[in-house]
Amino acid sequence: MNTTIVPILPFLMSGDPSLEALPDHLAEVASLGIGTVELGVPHSDPIADGPVLQAAAHRAIGRGTTLVKIFDKINTIKNIPDVVLFSYFNPLLRMGAEGLLQHLRESPVKALLVVDLPDSEEPDFEAALREGGYPLVPLLAPTTTGSRVRRLLEARPDPGPGACFARRFAYVVARLGVTGTGGETPLAPVARRVAALQGITGRPLAVGFGLSDPGALEAVRAMGATPVVGSALVQALHEGQGLGTFLRPRIGQ
């Protein structure tokens, strides 16, 4: 497996349009040759999410979606992509590190992206996950300085080329603000940012926030990074569009 770049990293909100649809969606992602997927845990106060993902999270919660039910659903599926569990910290904290590890060991989850957990805030919790084989993905904001980037990448290290993409990549936040707002993200600053980060680290980079147009996704791939598609895909599924119909034109060559 190429652990340096994958053509696209789709984001799905667990429980929206329904938890029952999740196995089919994950299987379809795999059938498209996409090896990794972000799977969101709905949260009632998603501070980093824009209106599309907020609405999707609230719909999912209204349908009774919980972290335990998500694990119960994905643990029954075979031949699905590697999963990066995208969550806020509170649902994980309520489960506890040991309970979470028990669920993770039976699941296709390879890593976690916890958007509101700085690297030094819960060191014991994070260390337990890392020692159990479940690293946390480092988040690199546009305002993160070079010295801070180095500290983050040291705190959440790259396990190396023998590991899968999900366990290696760093998430590059393409712009300030929340997801899914403000139209397409300007790409020139993103290209400069990616180039600067590639001068610091050789680990894979995924770029997200404000990307959905096929041309923009191709431009990110040309930078040597993986584009993330979240809000646009979640909205398309909510409106009844097929997952494959949405993703095929955006996968690239």
Name the residues annotated as catalytic.
38, 49
Closest alpha carbon to 28 in 238, 169, 237? 237
- Phi, psi for 7 (deg, rounded to 5): -70, -25
Is the N-terminal amide bond of 17 cis, ω within 30° of 0? yes
CA 111 to chain centre: 9
Question: Which pair of structure tokens corresponds to residue 108?
Answer: 């296709």
Question: Based on C-alpha coordinates, what's the Rg of the chain?
Answer: 17
